[in-house]
Amino acid sequence: MLVRDSLDHCVKCTICESFCPYSQATPLFPGPKYVGPQAERFRRTGSSPDISVDYCSGCGICTQVCPHGVKIAEINSQARAQLWEERGIPLRNQLIARPSVVGRLGTPVAPLANWTLRNRVLRRLGERLLGIHRDAALPLFAGRTFQRWARKHVSPAAGRTIVYFHACGTNYYEPAVGQMTVEVLEHNGFHVVVPPQDCCGLPLQSNGNFPAARAYVQRLAANLAPYAREGCAIVSNSTSCGLMLKREAREILDVEDEDVAVVSESMYDLSEFLFLLHGRGELRTDFKPLELTVPYHAPCQQQGHGIGKPALDLLALIPGLRAIELDADCCGIAGTYGLKKEKYEISMTVGERLFSQLRESNGDVAACDSETCRWQIEHGSGMHAVHPVELLHRAYGLGAA
Amino acid sequence: MNEAHGRLVPASYDAVVIGAGLAGLTAALRLAEEGQRVAVLAKGVGATHLAPATIDVLGYDDGPVDSPARTLPEFADANPQHPYRRLSIDLIRASLDWFKACLSDHGYRGGLDQNLLVPTAVGVAKPTALVPETMAAADLRQGGRFIFVGFRGLKDFFPAYLADNLARTPLPGGAAVTTRVVELSPPLGVARDVSATGFARRFEQADFRESVLAELGRHLMPGEIVGFPAVLGLEGARKVWQELETRLGHSVFEVATLPPSVPGIRLYETMTGALRRRGARLVVGTTVAGAEGSGNRLEGVVAHTAGRPLTYRANSFVLATGGFASGGLQLDSSGEVREPVFDLPVAGLPGPEEPRFERGYFDEHAISRAGVAVDASSRPIDGEGTPVYENLHAVGATLSGAVPWREASGNGLSLASGYAAASAILEAS
């Protein structure tokens, strides 16, 4: 079903409005119902009524809470693409929406690039020239890619094969998380295959460049599809990029592509997959105790999977570990939203509920499935944040990656 | 894994509740309190956000009901298919007591013996059994001089309309009510129009309250009872309300606004927060669309996710998906009524020759009593009275035989039936 067809189910009950964290934080975003289902009638005449839909972050909470199945966030995402098609996409949005291009440029010169990212004067200049907020939580380049590690790594032969989609954040900024993911899967008896892969196109989609986003996701799906056709499961520790392959490419970008279809059926979020294994009695539970208090934040895009909070269930298996479920909805970063000069303050206002819950939790370390959210959490709350797999890796005693 | 990632199933729960309205949350929380591992699966957020968070057990029979406890026995006799026929007075009373304890932070007042009478957003004097403390001073039974406060920029509350209607409403015992209105213009910042929740957030800020207090203080006359739209804060509502009463030196109460209902949001947040603290899993944004079982025992329900369907296994299941308004019951263009999750038998339908609808919108339509019939253990039954599944229970607006909006019985039914289903599950396990 086309997402716009769901619009007829809107009864204007305002439940989405009362949950939207962004309309609470800024009058520039009048709310998901206003800019989405309600403004759609103006857009059908061919031109967007105003720019307010650009202040939607795409977090998707509106769609989750809608009791009538209206695809509000998806309608808004398509409306944003129409807006930028009419007006032309700003250079800044073209740049930050291509993490693999930025990653390839920055990795070989990581020390210099990281020095630039930490230099206050240059960041102020970057804000003036590019519109990337001087204080926004930009990650540092690792200087070595995960792909490079994976090419040298020999995954032991095993009865079961699994495909790992690591996405850009792991590749350029957090290769250690990728190594830990591979080692946790190997520990559970999987032979791990890491096919060559590029960006999934999600940042381009949320910045309104649908044609480029489609090209990226179709290229990625073509690389992964042969494994899916053989019956291999595909896992990702990047919960938003995984969601792109599961659903958003088909639903928001309207991609009708056999590769995307078969990949979407085989796609699992890492925590989802591991907990499903546990349900079958096949997850190793030889965990050493970890005496840690771990506040857990489920990112909006993770909630978009509709699978509950399997990371919490996994953390509960580790002896000694005390996981706390936080109930703040959104950290405010929404991928690239909070990087933008005009949206940084909004993003920090949205995140404040989460940051204060983290500060009050007396936690040792925060857990969160999404990389951009972890960077925002560290920036906003000062608490170190890890992917849940890092805690599993530690509890398995698999050593430092 | 090469052959079979499709067979993956999640770990099981003691109970799975489908639906996150008051009925579902009540059943889930009661079970979680007793140590059951509970999952709540919901397509979206329920009617809590639309309704005023009062617990209406029975507001109208032939006319307004003075005492639900006194009226319910004859009401149940006269309506043998009504869910209240099955839910004893003692059980309804226990559900109200449980609810008051569970929402102790909201200070609910009232009970089953005597309905309160509180003004609605359109100025109707509505009989209701329980109201949050912030609404209690609205009780119209003693009469009084009321002033209703409006805010410039709040588009979902019309105090003049309310006050005018209320002044013309005959009250029981000839109680005399006078009403008047004041409109305030507190600073709203750059916002052009502000929702009820937007005002509620502002009321949690001390400087906003100061500006309201300063402006309102000039308008009040001694002895007036002050009615605000129900926007006096979210988590901190009780403190805000107390501060207004103390500082103004007047009784203060809230009146429900058009949706979103701020008191309903408070109710939802308190109940879901309690569920989280008890380790229950709340999954909002997933649609349950099928069942797995053998014979008359249900083993799992199948929910849509972004990827593939996911089976939730449990020992018992509670259907709390609501009625026609929320899609818990569906009426198609050929006039067929369906319960879409389990395809349960639907009872309470008008006969083939009888009309389903009347001409007037506010008339009583035969179709509105349609729903799922249940046995003494809240289990859906077929035409012969046999439970469809031995471990499936149905609660709330899905049930047949009631017309909640005419009876003013919606939340009372949800609460009592949710409570009853949890009791049946706990007894069986």
Q: Which residues of B touch A27 (CB under 8 A)?
A: 189-192
Q: Tell me the three state secondary structure of residue B135.
A: helix
pLDDT value for A37: 86
pLDDT value for B10: 56
Q: Do domains A3-87 and A285-395 have the same CATH topology?
A: no
Instruction: Give the β-pairing of A293-297 and B116-119.
Output: unpaired
Considering only CA atoms, give the Rg of chain A.
20
* B21 Cβ contact partners less than 8 Å away, ≥ 6 residues apart: B46, B47, B48, B320, B322, B326, B396, B397, B414
Q: CA B31: distance to chain centroid?
A: 19
Chain A within 8 Å of B273 (Cβ-Cβ)?
yes
Chain B closest-CA separation from residue A383 CA (Å): 22
- As a whole number of angstroms, the distance between CA B120 and CA B135 comes to 11
pLDDT at A401 over 60: no
Please tell me which of the candidates B5, B11, B42 has its beta carbon nearest to residue A313: B11
- Contact at 8 Å (CB) between B291 and B342? yes
Q: What is the mean pLDDT of residues A186-191?
A: 98
Nearest to residue A146, comparing CAs of A117, A119, A112, A180?
A: A180
Q: What is the pLDDT of residues B150-192, one digit of tens each?
A: 999 998 899 999 999 999 998 988 889 999 999 999 998 877 6
Q: Which residues of B touch A280 (CB under 8 A)?
A: 7-9
Nearest to residue A206, comparing CAs of A41, A53, A23?
A: A53
- As a whole number of angstroms, the distance between CA A352 and CA A34 comes to 25
Q: What is the pLDDT along chain B (429 residues), one digit of tens a residue?
A: 433 444 445 568 999 999 999 999 999 999 999 999 999 999 999 899 999 999 999 999 999 999 999 999 999 999 999 999 999 999 999 999 999 999 999 999 999 999 999 999 999 999 999 999 999 999 999 999 999 999 999 988 999 999 999 999 989 888 899 999 999 999 988 776 788 999 999 999 999 999 999 999 999 999 999 999 999 999 999 999 999 999 999 999 999 998 899 999 999 999 999 999 999 999 999 999 999 998 899 999 999 999 989 999 999 999 999 999 999 999 998 889 999 999 999 999 988 888 889 999 989 899 999 999 999 999 999 999 999 999 999 999 999 999 999 999 999 999 999 999 999 999 998
CATH class of domain segment(s) A3-87: mainly alpha
- Preceding omega of A175 cis (within 30 degrees of 0): no
- Contact at 8 Å (CB) between B346 and B399? no
Please tell me which of the candidates B11, B46, B201 has its beta carbon nearest to residue A67: B46
* Domain range summary for chain A, segments of one domain joined by +: 3-87, 285-395
pLDDT value for A2: 79
Structure tokens at B261: 């209902």
Contact between A304 and B285 using a beta-carbon 8 Å cutoff = yes
Find the length of chain B.
Answer: 429
pLDDT value for B7: 45
Q: What is the mean pLDDT of residues A85-104?
A: 94
Q: What is the pLDDT of residues A263-273, one digit of tens each?
A: 999 999 999 99
Taking a contact as any Cβ pair under 8 Å apart, which residues of chain B between 196 and 235 contact chain A? 197-198, 201
Chain B within 8 Å of A15 (Cβ-Cβ)?
yes
Contact between A268 and B201 using a beta-carbon 8 Å cutoff = no
- Contact at 8 Å (CB) between A223 and A260? no
Half-sphere exposure in the Cβ direction for A47 (13 Å, CA):
3
Q: CA A176: distance to chain centroid?
A: 18
Domains and CATH numbers, chain B: 10-51+68-101+266-428 (3.50.50.60), 123-257 (no CATH)
What kind of fold does domain A285-395 have according to CATH?
A: Rossmann fold (3.40.50)
pLDDT at A67 over 80: yes
Contact between A65 and B285 using a beta-carbon 8 Å cutoff = yes
Q: What backbone phi and psi angles, to 5 degrees, belong to B184?
A: -105, 155
Q: Which residues of A touch B192 (CB under 8 A)?
A: 27
- As a whole number of angstroms, the distance between CA A170 and CA A221 comes to 18
For the question of an ipTM over 0.90, the answer is: yes
- As a whole number of angstroms, the distance between CA A254 and CA A243 comes to 14
Contact between A18 and B287 using a beta-carbon 8 Å cutoff = no
Please tell me which of the candidates A68, A230, A279 has its beta carbon nearest to residue B11: A279
pLDDT at A98 over 90: yes
Q: What is the pLDDT of residues A307-354, one digit of tens each?
A: 999 999 999 999 999 999 999 989 999 999 999 999 999 999 999 999
Q: What is the mean pLDDT of residues A361-380?
A: 97
Q: What is the pLDDT of residues A156-175, one digit of tens each?
A: 999 999 999 999 999 999 99
Q: What backbone phi and psi angles, to 5 degrees, belong to B362?
A: -90, 5
Q: What is the pLDDT of residues A201-228, one digit of tens each?
A: 999 999 999 999 999 999 999 999 999 9
pLDDT value for B2: 39
